[in-house]
Copies of this chain bind each other. A is one copy, B any other.
Amino acid sequence: MNKQPKIAVIGGGSWATAIVKMLTENLNTIGWYMRSAQAIEHIKKNNHNPKYLRSAEIDATKLDLSKDINRTVAKYDILIFAVPSAFLVSELEKLNKPLKDKIIFSAIKGIVPETGLIVGEHFNREYDIPFENIGVITGPCHAEEVAMERLSYLTIASRDEQKAKLIGKALKSWYIKTKISDDIIGTEYAAMLKNIYAVAAGIAHGLGYGDNFQSVLMSNAIREMKRFIKKVHKMKRNINNSAYLGDLLVTGYSVFSRNRQFGNMIGKGYTVKSAQMEMSMIAEGYYATKSAFKIKQENGAKTPIIEAVYNVLYADKDAKKEFKKLTNKLD
């Protein structure tokens, strides 16, 4: 093989682990930063991540693991960020190496809570990284199925087609197909919004609504997503492509979805706090709801589902009443 791109993954969770696994199918060396020294030792010895996505077998001989983010950032040209959005800022604060000349791909499906920005915009505004050096890796893709090597399709978006292609090539294998897109803003908003709709699906389920209603909710959600994204970044896009509709469906319908689980608990009467305590992982949709609500208030998009979820999660409204009202706004 010719000279390989120098790619590192930032983050030690399930999705980071899945991406590392994909990369090991093509690259001889992958940088991988995670906080836990213990996890690093475990991976080196046992070829799998002890806490997240345990079932994914990873060839540790190809990994350049480090618990020092600065070492990893300094050594690699392309950084794939896959930490939960709530931890991004605190991770970036550790940096004393410049990011300016790096190529940044975000595999974070959420909004940066501190700035209310999607990840690409955050890197652009806070670190002066031009959009040409920013990209997004998006599903529909549950990490769990990557571990099982079940066929999955990824969309890689960047304004620079060459960079999208390069990452696409590094990720694809017999169980991963990749597609490139130039809609970096739209795919990233879709990845964030779908988590809110998955929370909504969970709340509805928890309240006792059935499959018939669920399909109406998803059919309204994709129309709402289209309206929202159009207000944020107008361009020609087919909202029914896998990166938008597919990503919504895999999250809204799947038992793996943490956002759906979180919503389900809310629908069953848990408070936000107790639901969050019960779950060991953070539901991205919780933060996404707050930001999306704010954006929607500014741009005036008609988004009854986001509104209902916001009212339940942040305005202390009764889920049952709020969703009853919502049913009259759907069709």
Residue numbers of A with Cβ under 8 A of B are: 139-142, 145, 148, 150-153, 177, 179, 208-216, 218-220, 222-223, 226, 238-242, 245-247, 249-250, 253-254, 256, 327, 330-331
Given A219-B242, A219-B246, A219-B249: A212 and B327 interface contact (C-beta under 8 Å): no
Contact of B179 with A211 in the complex, beta carbons under 8 Å = no
For A331, give the chain B residue with the smallest CB separation.
B179
Are the C-beta atoms of A139 and B245 separated by less than 8 Å?
A: no
The closest CB in chain B to the CB of A327 belongs to B151
A249 to chain B, nearest CB (A): 4
Known: A151-B327, A218-B246, A240-B240. A212 touches B139 (CB 8 A): yes
Residue from the list B145, B210, B245, B249 in contact with A210, Cβ < 8 A: B145
Number of copies: 2
CB distance from A209 to the nearest CB of B (A): 6
Cβ contact within 8 Å between A238 and B223? yes
Please state if B152 and A213 are interface contacts (CB–CB under 8 Å): yes
Residues of B near A148 (CB, < 8 A) are 210
Find the B residue at minimum CB distance from A219: B246
**Chain B residues, CB < 8 A from A240:** 219, 222-223, 226, 239-240
CB atoms of A241 and B219 under 8 A apart: yes
Give Cα A151–Cα B219 distance, bound, in whole angstroms. Answer: 15
Which one, B139, B215, B250, contacts A140 given CB within 8 A? B215
**What is the CA–CA distance of A139 and B214 in the complex, to the nearest angstrom?**
12
Q: Are B241 and A150 in contact (CB under 8 A)?
A: no
